């Protein structure tokens, strides 16, 4: 049915590529292109021989001209951006120049400022519309499936959604005292930033990890979770009519937080360049180099993830609650595609998002967040491709008030 150019060959891309090859009816041909070509070749060697034709290429995705030349050579129907958030705009520029559909899993973040927001990508709306091409933003799990869950809840279960709590639980254990489950640089930039949630039309800012809750996750058990700012809050606050509040919580273990605090205290998480033995280095990038590569965590990670959304709102004038979530087993993912569940839960929706565009199910020119499309075909595909969802119409809710607890004072 179509041809995809996949940029990036890391943890998420590897899963997405396995899934594209499984879905060969839609992905007849893929080209895997990344900074380090040998990683693309390794994936090709592993997956060649099936119905999907695989080629590889080297590309620096920071360079628009190189990207344009590659797109012109490969002639894909869609570019799947599975590199890093820093490359979003250069890849969008190349898609515009070549009139090629675009998708990604994370919004743009300038390399020198730990600040991610949709503004930069939303600015491309008119240009994509005029070019007659679609940009699908945020087709991972969160953002991604959480947006699809929101659109689905609104379409099928509510007249109005007032409250959304997104709960991201990783109950997995990799056995290391400290490691991140995806790109350490991106992960640490995210969790060391201030927390933020949206309430009554305004953003409320918190200190990093200031708000803590304990939640008993289905199939995982009780975990500490902390309020973080996460990028889907920005688009869902705009795209969910009548919304009063949206929050995002992620689980972290004590060991992870203790290490993170120590690393922060000694300056290892800084993105300000420093001079070291005559060279400029960025401490966070150096830290990334000494931490375990997330791609190597697969064989050692056991346990499950549980990511979902709790909605509260009204249906036919009556209060209603709805929790929809996915549980994913690290070892089952590893057995299937050689990666742990964090890459799996992002790579599968990346493949599905691209398939939505290639099959014409989601086809409107412009730049859109995932919740702006019809959720139904995506929800069906989640069940089909390894991320089945579970519904609960009477879930335990996350406390509303007070936002800051005494326990939190102790934690800090």
In the complex, the residues that contact ligand NDP under the rule CB under 6 A are 8-13, 34-36, 39, 59-62, 82-85, 87, 105-106, 140-144, 182-183, 186, 294-295, 346
In angstroms, rounded to a whole number, what is the distance separating the alpha carbons of residues 349 and 208? Answer: 28
Q: Which is nearer to ligand NDP, 283 or 294 (CB)?
A: 294
Element (H, E) at 314: strand 304-315
In angstroms, rounded to a whole number, what is the distance separating the alpha carbons of residues 106 and 83? Answer: 9
CB 314 within 8 A of CB 159: yes
Per-residue burial over 388-410, b if 16 or more Cβ lie within 10 Å, else e, is ebeeeeebeebeeeeeeeeebee
- DSSP letter assigned to residue 112: T
Residue 219 backbone zone (phi > 0: left; psi -120 to 50: alpha; other: beta): left
Least spacing, CB of residue 51 vs ligand NDP, in Å: 25
CB 30 within 8 A of CB 358: no
Q: Which is nearer to ligand NDP, 35 or 320 (CB)?
A: 35
Least spacing, CB of residue 32 vs ligand NDP, in Å: 9
Q: Which is nearer to ligand NDP, 31 or 408 (CB)?
A: 31
Q: What are phi and psi of 107, to 5 degrees?
A: -80, 165
CB 330 within 8 A of CB 173: no
Q: Which is nearer to ligand NDP, 16 or 408 (CB)?
A: 16
Q: Which is nearer to ligand NDP, 106 or 220 (CB)?
A: 106
Least spacing, CB of residue 281 vs ligand NDP, in Å: 17
Residue 328: strand pairing partners: 305
Please tell me whether residue 367 adopts helix, strand or coil conformation: strand
In angstroms, rounded to a whole number, what is the distance separating the alpha carbons of residues 150 and 158? Answer: 10
Least spacing, CB of residue 15 vs ligand NDP, in Å: 8
Q: Which is nearer to ligand NDP, 186 or 237 (CB)?
A: 186
Least spacing, CB of residue 34 vs ligand NDP, in Å: 4
Least spacing, CB of residue 402 vs ligand NDP, in Å: 30
Residue 279 backbone zone (phi > 0: left; psi -120 to 50: alpha; other: beta): beta
Q: Which is nearer to ligand NDP, 290 or 410 (CB)?
A: 290
Residue with smallest beta-carbon separation from ligand NDP:
10
Least spacing, CB of residue 226 vs ligand NDP, in Å: 17
Q: Which is nearer to ligand NDP, 381 or 408 (CB)?
A: 381
Q: Which is nearer to ligand NDP, 61 or 356 (CB)?
A: 61
Diameter of the chain by CA atoms? Answer: 68
In angstroms, rounded to a whole number, what is the distance separating the alpha carbons of residues 102 and 77? Answer: 9
Least spacing, CB of residue 121 vs ligand NDP, in Å: 13
Q: Which is nearer to ligand NDP, 282 or 295 (CB)?
A: 295
Least spacing, CB of residue 139 vs ligand NDP, in Å: 8
Least spacing, CB of residue 103 vs ligand NDP, in Å: 11
CB 346 within 8 A of CB 353: no
Contacts of residue 32, Cβ cutoff 8 Å, sequence gap at least 6: 6, 9, 13, 17, 40, 43, 44, 54, 55, 56, 57
Least spacing, CB of residue 407 vs ligand NDP, in Å: 28
Angle in degrees, CA 316, 318, 324, rounded to 5 = 90
- DSSP letter assigned to residue 144: B
Q: Which is nearer to ligand NDP, 131 or 328 (CB)?
A: 328
């Amino acid at each position: 049915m179509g041809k995809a150019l996949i940029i990036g060959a890391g943890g998420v891309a590897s899963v997405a590529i396995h899934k594209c090859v499984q879905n060969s009816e839609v992905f007849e041909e893929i080209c895997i292109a990344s900074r380090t070509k040998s990683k693309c070749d390794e994936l090709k060697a592993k997956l060649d021989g099936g119905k999907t034709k695989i080629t590889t290429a080297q590309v620096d995705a920071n360079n628009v001209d190189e990207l344009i030349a590659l797109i012109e050579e490969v002639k894909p129907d869609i570019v799947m951006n599975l590199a890093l958030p820093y490359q979003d705009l250069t890849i969008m520029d190349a898609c515009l120049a070549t009139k090629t559909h675009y998708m990604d899993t994370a919004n743009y973040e300038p390399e020198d400022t730990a600040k991610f927001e949709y503004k930069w990508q939303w600015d491309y709306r008119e240009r994509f519309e005029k070019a007659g091409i679609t940009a699908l933003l945020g087709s991972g799990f969160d953002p991604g499936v959480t947006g699809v869950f929101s659109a689905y809840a609104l379409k099928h279960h509510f007249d109005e959604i007032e409250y959304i709590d997104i709960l991201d639980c990783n109950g997995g254990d990799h056995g290391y005292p400290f490691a991140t489950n995806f790109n350490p640089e991106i992960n640490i930039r995210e969790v060391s930033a201030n927390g933020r949630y949206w309430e009554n039309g305004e953003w409320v800012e918190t200190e990093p990890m200031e708000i803590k809750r304990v939640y008993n996750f289905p199939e995982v058990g009780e975990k500490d979770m902390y309020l973080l700012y996460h990028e889907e809050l920005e688009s869902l606050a705009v795209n969910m009519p009548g919304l009063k509040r949206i929050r995002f919580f992620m689980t972290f273990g004590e060991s992870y937080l203790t290490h993170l605090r120590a690393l922060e205290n000694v300056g290892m998480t800084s993105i300000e360049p420093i001079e070291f033995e005559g060279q400029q280095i960025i401490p966070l990038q150096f830290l990334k180099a000494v931490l375990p590569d997330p791609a190597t965590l697969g064989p050692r990670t056991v346990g499950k993830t549980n990511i979902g959304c709790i909605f509260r709102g009204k249906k036919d004038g009556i209060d209603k609650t709805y929790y929809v979530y996915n549980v994913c087993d690290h070892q089952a993912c590893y057995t299937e595609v050689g990666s742990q569940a964090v890459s799996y839960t992002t790579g599968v929706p990346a493949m599905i998002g691209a398939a939505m565009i290639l099959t014409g199910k989601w086809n409107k020119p412009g730049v859109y967040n995932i919740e702006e499309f019809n959720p139904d075909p995506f929800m069906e595909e989640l069940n089909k491709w390894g991320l089945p969802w579970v519904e609960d119409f009477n879930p335990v809710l996350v406390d509303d008030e007070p936002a800051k607890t005494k326990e939190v004072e102790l934690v800090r």
